[in-house]
Structure 1
């Protein structure tokens, strides 16, 4: 199987915050890998823009160091790196003032796609959008990429959308969620809608419940001041986990195009039922020999912000009536793992008797690590001695199934940036999606704040608070083990 790399059209990509951590770790190394794959046309250019006083050569040295640190050794070809760096330019810019804007305007070319990546704090989005138009840098075909957080509640999300809409229409705005760029997430749609095997079973008649887990082993680290104002609900559930839920639960779109897909995702968010307090478990990690507690990390000894959350949701529509969705995410947990598990119901009648044990089919979609999918099926255990049943996986780990080609699979940022250049918004959140998600999220947060609920303590290296296990145990279900 030979993959086909299709170059995109010529472009000028301006990265505001071009010396920042995200640009250094993800955006710039990802662009180099796309250049190496032959996807970047010869006359494409990348322009870094930030407050730092650098010239082109100094910025190229910065990017060379980023490539050296974040690109695999076997992908570092000196000649290719030099060719990539020759496409880079730099402008010292004042996002709130006038400095550098005329210089940036002078670098822009006619006849190419102009894209602007806002890799900065959301508070600067309006300033950047205004100055791009005031200096005639952006035109009607230009695209902007904005990073989360897309507000911290419904009112701020609406204000942010309104600010961007003053200068750009919705078809020009790309709200990036890197989870949607993962290969496995996109394969989820292919598995659902490209195989007659699964779609007839994808409903409450056959699915007992669905689990979505995003577990991290690290703490809040250097993000303490931000995280303590956000917590796991705002930082992860409202965006990442919500988007995974939408892709799992949505109806088949009429066609695979941006608005058709996003229309169906929006219907899922609007169909979410309110969540009662007893359906939510919040937690905070404690100190151990390997690190400080959450409150020590965020330097707030009275913090009531959650570093872990688990919750039970219901989607109120015909397809999913009665099928619960369980979501959990947290920091300082046992293992780093992101997965979706579709747990099918028992066979309506077992012909093998109680001694055969309890067996269920589970479709597991692994986002990280080891991207792939596993379908658990029940078979007879080999050998004599009667009908003993065991569960075995039908495994499609990408690295094994695709062989060397799996090494060429672009990471999420690479794919999403190329989608921006192509003008494909399928994997990006629309403004009404963001607002609908906050409309559902806000009452939940306001509820526990009004009650003064304190997060439950949990030991690092575990699966979270014991109460999160009871969220499922009391209904005869179990979380899949984090490993």
Structure 2
């Protein structure tokens, strides 16, 4: 199976914060891979802008070192790497001052797509947007890319939306959530809406419950200062997990187009029931032999910030009323694993004399690692001696089913950056969607802040605090095992 690579239009992309960690680890490697694939042509240019005084040649040398550290050797062909580095430029620039803006304006070319990637702290968004307009660098066809966190709560998210809206239209603002760029997440929509097989069963009548898990085996060391201000609820639930919930639960859009898809996601968020105190569990990972605990990683012995959260969520609409969605995410868990598991109800009547043998049908969408789909069904156990039922998986690993293409799927940032150049906002969050997610999340966080309780401790390498297990057990259900 060969995929078509369709080159994008010529563009000038300015990466503010171009010497930062995100640019080195994600943005520049993504652009290089698309260049190697032939999607980014020689007519495209990437201009890094940052405070550091640096020549363009020095920036190219730093980029070459970053690419060598981020990409496998087979991709780093000397000729292709040199050609990509020729596409790079650098401008020393002060976001809140006037230094460098005239030089940046002089580098912009007429007649090409202009995209501005704000790989900087949200506090600088307003200053960058204002100066891009004031110096005539951005026009009404330009695109602005902003990373999370998009606010710390509803008020700050509204303030950021207002700052950007003063200078750019909603159709020009691309709020990235890299989970939406994952192939498996997009395949969730394809499986649901391109196959008649599943959609008639995708409702409360046939689905017992849904589990969404985003587990990380690493702790927060190196990100402690940020993470202790955010916590799992802000860092994961409000954005990444909310998007997975929306794509799982939303109604079929009338068309696969930006506003049609985002309208349906917004309806899901607005239909979410308020989270009851008994339906949420917080945790912090404890020290383990040779490993610090959360409090040591964030250098704050009095921290009340959660590194784990589990929730039971209800959706009050005709499709999902009565079917709970269980969400959990955490650091320093047993393994790195992200999946959506749709557990179907048992048949209304069994014709087999097989008490205790029946196990539920489950569709599992694996996001990482080993991306793919798995459907567990009941069959007859082979052999003579009666009708004995056994559960077996119908397993599709992308790596096996799609060959080389499945093993070398594009990074999420590759897909999303190319969508920015194409002007396709389908996989980006809209301003009202972000605000609605914060409006649902804020009361939960406010309740925690008011109580001042410590999160429950859990052992590093476990599946989280015991209280999270009881969140499921009291309903007669069990979390799926997080497997190394």
Superposition TM-score tier, normalisation by shorter sequence: over 0.9
- Distance, in Å, in 1 between the alignment partners of 2:40 and 2:400 is 28
8 A contact 1:13–1:117 mirrored in 2: yes
Helix, strand or coil at the partner of 2:310: strand
Deviation at 1:356, TM superposition (A): 5.5
Structure 2 counterpart of 1:73: 73
Task: Say if 2:126 and 2:163, in contact at 8 Å, map to a contact too.
Answer: yes
Asked if structure 2 preserves the Cα contact closer than 8 Å seen for 1:361 and 1:375, the reply is yes
Which residue is equivalent to 1:326? 326
User: Hey, what does 1:34 align to over in structure 2?
Assistant: 34
Q: How does 1:464-479 map to 2 (within 5 A)?
A: 464-479=464-479
Partner of 2:204: 204
Distance in 1 of aligned mates of 2:215 and 2:236: 11
The alignment covers a number of residue pairs equal to 483
**CA–CA distance in structure 1, aligned partners of residues 356 and 443 of structure 2:** 46
SS in 1 for 2:90: strand
TM-score by length of 2: 0.99
User: How far, CA to CA, are the matches of 1:233 and 1:353 in structure 2?
Assistant: 46
Residue 375 of structure 1: aligned partner: 375
Match of 2:282 in 1: 282
Report whether the alignment pairs 1:136 with 2:128: no
Counterpart secondary structure, 2:223: helix
SS of 2:117 mapped into structure 1 = strand
Deviation at 1:74, TM superposition (A): 1.4
1:425-444 alignment runs, 5 A limit: 425-444=425-444
Please give the alpha-carbon distance, in whole angstroms, between the structure 2 residues aligned to 1:77 and 1:313: 49
C-alpha distance in 1 between matches for 2:280 and 2:356: 35
Distance 1:407 1:478 in 2: 32
Q: Displacement of 1:317 after TM fit?
A: 0.1
Return the offset for 1:132. 0.5
Equivalent-residue separation in structure 2 for 1:42 and 1:408 (angstroms): 23
Q: CA deviation at 1:223?
A: 1.0
Deviation at 1:355?
3.9
Match of 1:308 in 2: 308
- For the 8 Å contact 2:93–2:99, the answer to whether it is kept is yes
Unaligned runs of 5+ in 2: none
In structure 1, what is the Cα distance between the partners aligned to 2:46 and 2:367? 30
After TM superposition, which residue ranges in structure 1, 4 or more long, deviate above 4 angstroms? none
1:106 corresponding residue in structure 2: 106
Partner of 1:90: 90
In 2, the alpha carbon distance for the partners of 1:153 and 1:354 equals: 52
TM-score, normalising length from structure 1? 0.99
Q: Is the 8 Å Cα contact of residues 13 and 46 (structure 1) preserved in structure 2?
A: yes
Q: Secondary structure at the match of 1:365?
A: strand
Counterpart residue number, 2:155: 155
What whole-Å deviation, never above 9, does each CA across 1:222-247 have from its counterpart, x for those lacking one? 11111111100000000000000000
Q: Which range moves more in the overlay, 442-451 or 134-143?
A: 442-451
User: Any conservation in 2 of the 1:356–1:389 contact (CA below 8 Å)?
Assistant: no
- Matched residue, 2:268: 268
RMSD: 0.8
Return the alpha-carbon distance in structure 2 between the equivalents of residues 382 and 19 of structure 1.
Answer: 60
Q: Alpha-carbon deviations, 1:387-414, whole Å to 9, x = none?
A: 1211111111100000012244211000
2:193 is aligned to 193
User: How many Å apart are 1:208 and its aligned residue?
Assistant: 0.2
Structure 1 position 10 matched with structure 2 position 16: no
Listed one character per residue, the Cα deviations across residues 263-291 of structure 1 (whole Å, up to 9, x for unaligned) are 00000000000011000000000001131
Residue number in structure 1 paired with 2:171: 171
C-alpha distance in 1 between matches for 2:376 and 2:26? 34
Per-residue CA deviation, residues 81-122 of structure 1 (Å, 9 max, x unaligned), is: 001111000001111111111000000000000000000010
What's the CA shift for 1:301? 0.9
Q: Residues 354 and 388 of structure 2 are in contact (CA less than 8 Å); yes or no, is this contact kept in structure 1?
A: no
Partner of 1:346: 346
CA contact (8 A) 2:56 2:89 kept: yes
